[in-house]
Amino acid sequence: MNAFSPDITFDLATSPLRDLNEALHKTSGESNARRWRVLNPEGRHAVAVGIDAPVTVEIDGNVGYYCAGMNQNASVIIHGNAGQGVAENMMSGFVRVCGDASQSAGATGHGGLLVVDGNASARCGISMKGIDIVVKGSIGHMSAFMGQSGSLIVFGDAGEALGDSLYEAKLFVRGTVKSLGADCIAKELRDEHKALLAQKLEAAGVAPGSVDLSEFKRYGSARKLYNFHVDNADAY
Amino acid sequence: MTAHDSKGPAHALPQTLPRFSATFDPHTLSEIRRAAATGIYDIRGGGTKRKLPHFDDLLFLGASMSRYPLEGYREKCGTEVVLGNRFAKKPIYLKTPVTIAGMSFGALSAQAKEALGRGASIVGTSTTTGDGGMTPEERGQSQTLVYQYLPSRYGMNPVDLRKADAIEVVIGQGAKPGGGGMLLGQKISDRVAAMRNLPKGIDQRSACRHPDWTGPDDLEIKIQELREITDWEKPIYVKVGACRPYYDIALAVKAGADVVVLDGMQGGTAATQEVFIEQVGIPILSAIRPAVQALQDLGMHRKVQLIVSGGIRTGADVAKALALGADAVAIGTAALVALGDNDPHWQAEYEALGTTAGAYDDWHEGRDPAGITTQDPELAARLDPVKAGRRLANYLSVMTLEAQTIARACGKSHLHNLEPEDLVALTVEAAAMAGVPLAGTQWIPGKTGGY
Ligand SMILES: Cc1cc2nc3c(=O)[nH]c(=O)nc-3n(C[C@H](O)[C@H](O)[C@H](O)COP(=O)(O)O)c2cc1C
């Protein structure tokens, strides 16, 4: 698999999920056990949720809903696919899905970085509040719905209604966008945005120069729906 | 019709009085004119203002020949309640079944939130956060604090989640089942904007659906996640607006709730469309029996606790809700009134806002003279959280005493021993909705057939 040598190996085929999460909650920055490996997740829900310690958790296999939910400070790497709401409401730290992610990836995240090597489904980054999300494949419909802040960077295409009712989240898509949602518009990609992209991609482990930043298009809020106006009634 | 006659008024033709239409009554006319002038629906706070079948339509049958009462003040009538002992390691213990409902910081001032915490803590009951997150003031002053998990997830974070005593997953509210939150620009101050991570001064509409789950099967997994994050310590409540109570409560139980909160259409809100408040949902009176039936059918009555709300004002309302099968109640509007909302003391200022004390409901505008539903620092400073908290505590004590008075009269040594058999209805509607007989008859419409 990889060259990671764990301090603790946890096999979910033989130990209950409850024990794993409880043990993870008991670790702190001072613990010796900094590197964890989880075997046989077999699509279980709520794997490695609510961690608040600078540990690394590598999960060998597919996970169900809400893996790494509300993560703080930890790095959680999923060597497989992730179900609905991976890294939901993440506060800080790093979550990587080596396969594909289901819908609502990174939903309501306040901080940290989520990287999806494959595709993410519908509502990727819904209600995002500061998280950065990098998807190397494509994303589904209604992504970044009501996105408040943070950035969503997509190497592939975006589905329908991207950025509907967007607040201040920044969206970058390299491929095509099937349609934009209400109040989301294409915006000019200036140098400051390229610098932001370069910085986020570097954090995501993308080799500098391997992606041509000028291929991205930027999308953001037109800010027309920020205060109600009767002439915008069609958009409500 | 004018008919002037030289012979004077004695010979004037009789005139009919000006007559307002019952359909196009003055309020309706004013609303049509307002809509025509502005192009936007009416937004307001509070609950339904129209008359609905309610607890007033029920009466208690005190003790008589066949049952004996308990002595007031001498024989004990218990009021304590345990919430959330189905799965949680740390259930909630309250001294009175009257709890404070979720009301957001943003809708309410920080002082008002603090006062709610103080008042609730004095009498040993819980208070609840709202859309917008937990403030240090309310956590600090609330002995037992329920943390709401709402679709918007404003201010939601694991640190506060761990500080909470219980978690309430909000699916809906009685004032607006199916609707999201609304906080208009006037109330998005710097502090509110920062807590919600939004630009200052925008009209903020919270989502009506949760962003990462839909439906009861997903909810079950969401509840599992929340339990895992908090190590199965905290009770998990599920709050629904009353619409299809039998099915909603059954599904909440199936999804793993420890406690279900059922909010009737009279329930207050910080702000929403008037049409929503008055036209969507059902009265709490009609919702309790189906909810209790669902719990009973699942063998879960008293195991998953039922908290009901929506227009609860007195100890009599509390006693009636409990007699119909609820374990506890929650109050919103009444708690705000106890703090000082709509107090005649501010009459001149209410008039300046084009209203009058008791009718003020433009809470979304943030200009509340009583300093409760506002973010204006000068207005908010009018509310002394210590004194207001004391008033709330007094009021909660009165409600509890009133409920005990009724329970003793019915011969009950605990409020939870009240039962539907202690009640009769004054109207056919209330009899049908509450499933108790019309007073003086044995007739429960829809149940016994009867005459
Ligand atoms: C000012 C105000 C703010 C409210 N904010 C919330 C909220 O944030 N979340 C929620 O679930 N309910 C909210 N509610 C509804 C209450 O939790 C509760 O359901 C309702 O007030 C109960 O009815 P009552 O006002 O007739 O007692 C709010 C109500 C009021 C009056």
Q: DSSP per residue over B238-263, as a string?
A: EEEESSSHHHHHHHHHHTT-SEEEEE
Distances (CA, A) of B168 to B84, B126, B402: 11, 12, 28
pLDDT of residue A161 exceeding 90, the answer is: yes
Region A187-195: what's the mean pLDDT?
97
The pLDDT of residue B174 is above 50: yes
Q: Residue B369 has what pLDDT? A: 97
pLDDT of the residue at B325: 98
Over residues A3-33, the pLDDT tens digits come to 678 899 999 999 999 999 999 999 987 788 8
- In sequence order, what are the beta bridge partners of A171? A152, A219
Q: Which residue has the tokens 């491929």?
A: A175
Architecture category of domain B55-418 in CATH: Alpha-Beta Barrel (3.20)
Kindly give the pairing relationship between strand B81-83 and strand B92-94: antiparallel
Q: Is the pLDDT of residue A116 over 90?
A: yes
Q: What is the pLDDT of residues B69-81, one digit of tens each?
A: 999 888 999 999 9
Q: Is the CB of B148 under 6 A from ligand 1?
A: yes
From residue B105, how far is each of B101, B276, B426 by CA, in Å?
A: 13, 22, 40
Helix, strand, or coil (residue A128): coil
pLDDT per position as a tens digit, B230-275: 999 999 999 999 999 999 999 999 999 999 999 999 999 999 999 9
Average confidence (pLDDT) over B107-121: 97
pTM (predicted TM-score): 0.95
Distance from C-alpha of B310 to C-alpha of B173, rounded to nearest angstrom? 9
Q: Is the CB of B430 under 6 A from ligand 1?
A: no
pLDDT of residue B1: 42
Among B258, B223, B224, smallest CA distance to B149 is for: B223
Q: Determine the distance from the C-alpha atom of residue B88 to the mean position of all C-alpha atoms in its chain, rounded to a whole number.
A: 25
Is B329 a residue whose pLDDT tops 90?
yes
Cβ atoms of B42 and B274 within 8 Å: the answer is yes
Q: Verify whether ligand 1 is closer than 6 Å to residue B396 (CB atom).
A: no
Please tell me the predicted confidence (pLDDT) of residue B98.
98
Q: Is A236 on the interface with B (CB under 8 A)?
A: no
Question: For residue B426, what are its two tokens?
Answer: 């004054």
State pLDDT tens for residues A31-65.
Answer: 888 999 999 999 999 999 999 999 999 999 999 99
SS3 (DSSP) at A231: helix
B-contacting residues in A 155-194 (Cβ below 8 Å): 167-168
Which residue did the predictor score with more confidence, B12 or B283? B283
Could you tell me if the CB of B239 is within 6 A of ligand 1?
Answer: yes
User: pLDDT value at position A131?
Assistant: 98
Q: Which of B74-88, B176-190, B278-292, B337-351 has the lowest mean pLDDT?
A: B176-190
- The pLDDT tens digits for B126-161 are 999 999 899 998 999 999 999 999 999 999 999 999
Question: What's the pLDDT band for B9 if we cut at 50, 70, 90?
Answer: low
Res A236: pLDDT: 65
- Which residue of chain A is at minimal alpha-carbon distance from B35? A230
pLDDT band at residue B32 using 50, 70 and 90 as cut-offs:
very high
B43, B55, B103, B339: residue to mutate for ligand 1 pocket, most atoms within 8 A of CB: B103
Pick the residue from chain A with its C-alpha nearest to B207.
A146
Better-scored residue on pLDDT, A174 or A209: A174
- With cut-offs at 50, 70 and 90, classify the pLDDT of residue B7: low
pLDDT of B293 higher than 60: yes
pLDDT score, position B3: 47
Residues A120-145 pLDDT 10s:
999 999 999 999 999 999 999 999 99
Per-residue pLDDT, B10: 62
pLDDT surpassing 70 at residue B2: no
Q: What percent of chain B has pLDDT over 90?
A: 87
B144: helix, coil or strand?
A: strand
Residues 6+ apart with CB under 8 A from B38: A230
Model pLDDT, residue B202 = 87
Q: How far apart are CA A152 and CA B52, in angstroms?
A: 49
Q: Which two tokens stand for residue B346?
A: 């501010």
- Whether residue A18 lies within 8 A of chain B, CB to CB, comes out as yes
Contact between chains at A89 and B156 (C-beta distance less than 8 A): yes
Is-contact B179 B276, C-beta < 8 A? Answer: yes
Q: Which of B184, B221, B226, B228 to mutate to test the interface with A (most CBs of A within 10 A)?
A: B228
Identify the weakest region by mean pLDDT among A3-17, B343-357, B387-401.
A3-17
pLDDT-derived band of residue B21, with 50, 70 and 90 as boundaries? very high
Separation of CA B102 and ligand 1 centre (Å)? 5
Q: Is the per-residue pLDDT at B301 higher than 80?
A: yes
- What share of chain A in percent tops pLDDT 70? 97
For ligand 1, atom 4, the nearest C-alpha belongs to B103
8 A C-beta contact, residue A174 and residue A191? no
Helix runs in chain A, H state only? 17-26, 191-203
A145 contacts B156? CB cut-off 8 A: no
pLDDT band at B227 (very low <50, low <70, confident <90, very high): very high
Q: Is pLDDT above 60 for A1?
A: no
Chain A residues whose beta carbon lies within 8 Å of the beta carbon of residue B225: 45-46, 49, 65-66, 69
ipTM computed for the complex: 0.96
Give yes or no for residue B4 having a pLDDT over 70. Answer: no
Cα A190 to middle of ligand 1, angstroms? 45
Partners of residue A108 in chain B, C-beta under 8 Å: 153, 156, 211-212
Q: How far apart are the first and last CA of chain A?
A: 50
pLDDT score of B8: 57
Instruction: Give the closest-approach CA distance of A208 to chain B in angstroms.
Output: 31
Q: Which residues in chain A have Cβ-Cβ distances shorter than 8 Å to B157? A: 70, 89, 91, 110
In this predicted structure, what is the pLDDT of residue A193?
97
For the stretch B217-226, pLDDT in tens is 999 999 999 9
How far is CA B128 from each of CA A132, B161, B170, B331, B374, rounded to the nearest angstrom?
Answer: 31, 13, 12, 11, 18
Picking from B112, B131, B132, B110, the residue whose alpha carbon sits closest to that of residue B120 is B112
High-pLDDT (> 70) share of chain B, %: 97
Beta-bridge partner residues of A173: A154, A217
Per domain, the residue ranges of chain A are: 1-108, 119-236
How far apart are alpha carbons A128 and A105 in whole angstroms? 10
Task: Give CA separation, B269 vs A226, B51, B69, B108, B310, in Å.
Answer: 22, 18, 39, 11, 10
